[in-house]
């Protein structure tokens, strides 16, 4: 049963808006409709400026991961939801929260507490942005109106995500919004005709312009920091192809049904066993460090007693209309903006890569323990489903011992590979950021699996029970 900490939120949960799960089976076409509606609402909110503020085209690494858009209703994006989930998962993993994820009642309560924490994090982040001068100097009335808009928009995002996850749509709202944000950035980097000095911003219009005007294609191989380049295009395609390949690399353990001896199958353990969650958590952590550091620096850098400590977290300078980190932890957790950026500060970005890989490995292990993917939980699930490994007796211990040979190693190796790929993609200026590409491939693959499953159930209704529908 859930511990006291989770049960303490029960009186609050009943006041939180909730999307009811469908009481009937939702057809595939209807799920597509609701998913498309959620996406359209997100895209519209990403274009509506906050009252009194203008929409900015600024793209920072954490905005891609948080599916946020500067100066719009999606200013906070999915940041509060991801941060709240990260905090609760870490508390559960460390034992501070007692929760049994195999118990449906505990999972439901944990989900409700996650919503409460998401709203709390929305209030905290919105307050920090306003008090920290993130939007510049605002009148009290204007600040209050912006605060209300941010809270209202975040609750809409929370409900859209809940609507999709509870069966009205396909996948999850968080994944959908991340994919939309990354796709927008990739399309802009590929096809934008916005003029930057001699060539358009998008790499394809830039190549066409260079060929038409007699310019040299070599000028586009590596461009100024942040500008799309041919090297970035090649790295984007390479990371996409490798991630697609990695999705198919797996260890398959033979299994059979204890009652139906003719039934044999294989339990797959993918190389990317914990999927893209570690890189989401690592990027969310880096993004929050960056935001907190900038807010502290804006407000307390002139305080003589606090200034040295604040500079350890982050030291900034105002350059070209935005704040740029020049020291502290925020300096080392900021992704590079291309190959030229890496060449200018190689030590800085080597540290960034090491930190990213380290935290991806750590979060891979944490999610293995709290996400119900550990060998003991999987062994119990297989035994409960009447499965066994041929040649071994039908019991949890033998299956667990076999799974222990592979799952821990694959989990750590997968976390290392995901972190390394994200860092390399950032180094070579991949479009949509390295983390964004990794997330997009994983999300697309998950959507492919879910859509195929939905279509099979539509065509063969008798398979619903077998597929868990």
Q: Give me the residues paired with residue 322 across strands.
A: 319
Strand partners, 316: 325
Strands 195-196 and 199-200: antiparallel
Q: Considering the domain boundaries, does residue 273 fall inside one?
A: yes
pLDDT, one tens digit per residue, over 169-187 is: 888 888 888 888 888 888 8
Which of these, 417, 416, 434, lies nearest to 426 by C-alpha position? 434
Q: What share of the chain is helix, strand, coil (3-state, %, to 5)?
A: 65, 5, 30
- Rounded Cα gap, residues 387 and 263, in angstroms: 10
DSSP conformation class of 72: B
149 and 251 share a domain?
Answer: no
Cα separation of 340 and 41, whole Å? 37
Does residue 233 belong to any structural domain of this protein? no
- 143, 249: one domain: no
For residues 108 and 17, is the Cβ–Cβ distance under 8 A? Answer: no
From 190, 221, 254, give the residue that closes a domain: 190
**Cα 242 to Cα 359: distance, rounded to the nearest angstrom:** 21
Same domain, 267 and 413: yes
With b for 16 or more beta-carbon neighbours within 10 A and e for fewer, the 459-469 pattern comes to eeeeeeeeeee
pTM to 2 decimal places? 0.79
Q: What is the pLDDT of residue 39?
A: 92
Same domain, 253 and 159: no
Residue 147 falls inside a structural domain:
yes
Q: Which helix (H) or strand (E) holds 27?
A: none
Q: Are residue 158 and residue 302 in the same domain, yes or no?
A: no
Same domain (yes/no): 383, 466 = yes
Asked if residue 294 and residue 170 are part of one domain, the reply reads no
| CA atoms within a 13 Å half-sphere pointing along the CA-CB vector of 358 | 9
The answer to whether residues 303 and 425 belong to one domain is yes
108: alpha, beta or left? (left if phi > 0; alpha if psi -120 to 50): alpha
20 domain-assigned: no
CA distance 215 to 213: 6
Gap between the Cα atoms of 469 and 466, Å rounded: 7
Would you say how long the chain is, in residues? 469
Q: Is residue 57 part of a domain?
A: yes
Using an 8 Å Cβ cutoff, are 173 and 164 in contact? Answer: yes
Q: Which two tokens stand for residue 77?
A: 């994006």
Contact 69, 43 (CB under 8 A): no
The 10 Å Cβ neighbour count of residue 253 is 18
Whether 215 is covered by a domain: the verdict is: no
Rounded CA gap, 157 and 116, in Å? 14
Record the tokens describing residue 383, joined without a space.
Answer: 């035994």
194 burial class (0-12, 13-18, 19+ CB within 10 angstroms)? exposed
Question: Please, are residues 352 and 336 in contact by the beta-carbon 8 Å criterion?
Answer: yes
d(CA 111, CA 9): 11
Domain, as residue range, for 381: 239-469
Half-sphere exposure of 313 (CA within 13 A, CB side): 18
Tokens of 358: 């380290």
Per-residue model confidence as pLDDT tens digits over 264-306 = 778 888 888 877 778 878 887 888 888 888 888 887 888 878 8
Strand, coil or helix: 323: strand
Low-confidence residues of the chain: pLDDT under 50:
1, 462-463, 465-469
351 domain-assigned: yes
Pair (186, 258) in one structural domain:
no
Check residue 465 and give its pLDDT: 47
- The Cα–Cα gap between 8 and 376 comes to 29
- Residue in 30, 71, 21, 32 with CA at minimum distance from that of residue 48: 71
Phi, psi torsion values for 319, nearest 5 degrees: -145, 130
**Number of structural domains the chain divides into:** 2
Residues 182, 271: one domain?
no
Q: Is residue 174 part of a domain?
A: yes
User: Three-state DSSP class for 253?
Assistant: strand
* DSSP letters for 41-58: HHHHHTTSBPTT------
pLDDT score at 37: 94
Distance of alpha carbon 160 from alpha carbon 169, whole angstroms? 10
399 and 280 fall within a common domain: yes
CATH classification at residue 255: 1.10.3370.10
Do 276 and 440 touch, CB atoms closer than 8 A?
Answer: no
Among 164, 190, 216, identify where a domain stops: 190
Pairing of strands 387-388, 264-270: unpaired
Phi-psi region of 232 (alpha: psi -120 to 50; beta: other; left: phi over 0): alpha
Is 425 in the same domain as 324?
yes
Closest CA to 63 of 286, 320, 234: 286
- Reduced to 3 states (helix: H, G, I; strand: E, B; else coil), residue 74 is coil
């Amino acid at each position: 049963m859930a511990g006291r900490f989770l049960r303490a939120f029960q009186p609050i949960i009943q006041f939180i808006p909730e999307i009811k799960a469908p009481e009937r089976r939702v057809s595939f076409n209807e799920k597509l409709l609701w998913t498309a509606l959620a996406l359209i609402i997100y895209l519209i909110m990403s274009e509506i400026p906050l009252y009194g503020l203008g929409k900015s085209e600024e793209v920072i690494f954490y905005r891609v991961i948080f599916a946020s858009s500067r100066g719009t209703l999606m200013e906070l994006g999915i940041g509060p939801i991801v941060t709240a989930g990260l905090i609760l998962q870490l508390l559960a993993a460390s034992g501070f929260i007692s929760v049994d994820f195999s118990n449906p009642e505990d999972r439901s309560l944990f989900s409700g507490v996650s919503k409460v924490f998401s709203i709390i994090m929305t209030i905290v982040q919105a307050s920090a942005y306003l008090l920290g001068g993130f939007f510049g100097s605002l009148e009290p009335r204007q600040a209050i109106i912006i605060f209300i808009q941010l809270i209202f928009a975040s609750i809409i995002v929370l409900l859209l995500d809940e609507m999709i996850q509870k069966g009205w749509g396909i996948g999850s709202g968080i994944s959908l919004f991340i994919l939309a944000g990354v796709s927008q950035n990739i399309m802009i980097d590929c096809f934008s005709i916005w003029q930057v000095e001699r060539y358009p911003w998008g790499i394809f219009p830039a190549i066409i312009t260079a060929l038409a005007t007699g310019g040299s294609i070599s000028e586009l191989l590596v461009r100024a920091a942040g500008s799309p380049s041919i090297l970035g295009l090649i790295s984007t395609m390479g990371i996409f192809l490798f991630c697609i390949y990695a999705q198919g690399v797996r260890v398959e353990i033979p299994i059979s049904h204890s009652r139906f001896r003719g039934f044999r199958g294989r339990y797959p353990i993918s190389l990317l066993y914990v999927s893209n969650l570690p890189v989401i958590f690592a990027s969310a952590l880096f993004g929050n460090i960056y935001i907190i550091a900038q807010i502290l620096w804006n407000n307390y850098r002139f305080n003589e007693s606090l200034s040295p400590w604040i500079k350890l977290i982050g030291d900034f300078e105002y350059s070209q209309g935005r704040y740029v980190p020049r020291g502290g932890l925020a300096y080392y957790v900021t992704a590079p903006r291309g190959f030229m950026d890496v060449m200018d500060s190689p030590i800085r970005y080597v540290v960034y890569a090491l930190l990213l890989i380290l935290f991806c490995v750590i979060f891979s292990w944490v999610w293995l323990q709290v996400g119900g993917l550990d060998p003991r939980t999987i062994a119990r699930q297989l035994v409960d489903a009447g499965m066994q490994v041929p040649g071994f007796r039908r019991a949890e211990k033998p299956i667990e011992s076999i799974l222990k040979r592979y799952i821990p190693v694959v989990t750590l190796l997968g976390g290392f590979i995901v972190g390394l790929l994200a860092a390399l993609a950032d180094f070579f200026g991949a479009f949509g950021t390295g983390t964004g590409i990794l997330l997009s491939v994983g999300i697309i693959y998950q959507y492919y699996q879910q859509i195929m499953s939905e279509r099979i159930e539509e065509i063969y209704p008798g398979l619903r029970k077998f597929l868990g529908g």
